[in-house]
Amino acid sequence: MPSIVQKLSGRRAIGGLRMPVQCSLKTAVVREGPAQSSGAGAAWIAYLCPVHAADLDGWPGVTDHPETGPMSCGTVLDYRSPEEQLQSHADLWLTRLTGVDPAAYDGVWAEVLDQADRVLLTRFEEAGTTGEDSPLQNMLAPMDMARQYAAEGDLGMAATSLGYCETFARNL
C-alpha cells in the first residue's frame, strides 16, 4: 500500500526542500498543502509534530494526515515552480524582513534578491557583532548565494538557498 506521501506526491519531482522550523520531535502528521495552480496536486507537503501541527504560521493546509515514520518535524517538500517558491519566501518572511517587495521589481528575481542581499548586509553591519550566534549573520551566506544564483538565472537554486535563510529567519 502506498504511503500517504507517495499518494500526495504522485510521480512529481520535488521542486525544493525547506525547513521552516527546526524541531527534533517525530512527525505525527503529514500536512497536505493547497492544490497547485497547475492542478497537478498539493503545492507542498509538510512533516509536523503535534506541537507544530497546531502552531505553524504561514503554512495552512487542506488536511492533516496521520503519519508515523522516521522523518523529524519541520521538513517541507515543495512541488511548486521556482518562481512560486520564491514568491512564497517573499510572502512568508523575506519582504517582512527586508522591506523588498517583488511586485515593485516586476518579478525580476535577480533584482529582488540583489536588493534583499544589500538590505540584509546593511542591517547586519548596523546591528554590530555581539560575538553571539546571530540568525542575521547565519543568513548572509545563503542570501548571497541566492543572489548569485538568481543573477545567473538559476531560480531553482536561488529558491533552495533562500530555504536556508528561511530556517534562520524563524529565529530572528
What are the residues binding Zn ion (CB under 5 A)? 23, 25, 49, 52, 73
Q: Which is nearer to Zn ion, 51 or 108 (CB)?
A: 51
**Position of cell 536588493?**
115
* Distance from C-alpha of 160 to C-alpha of 8, rounded to nearest angstrom: 21
Q: Which is nearer to Zn ion, 58 or 153 (CB)?
A: 58
Residue 76 CB, shortest distance to Zn ion, in Å, is 12
Q: Which is nearer to Zn ion, 21 or 150 (CB)?
A: 21
Residue 24 CB, shortest distance to Zn ion, in Å, is 8
Let me know: does 100 contact 94? Beta carbons within 8 Å.
yes
Residue 7 CB, shortest distance to Zn ion, in Å, is 23
Residue 170 CB, shortest distance to Zn ion, in Å, is 12
* Distance from C-alpha of 93 to C-alpha of 4, rounded to nearest angstrom: 29
Q: Which is nearer to Zn ion, 49 or 146 (CB)?
A: 49
Q: Which is nearer to Zn ion, 55 or 126 (CB)?
A: 55
Residue 93 CB, shortest distance to Zn ion, in Å, is 18
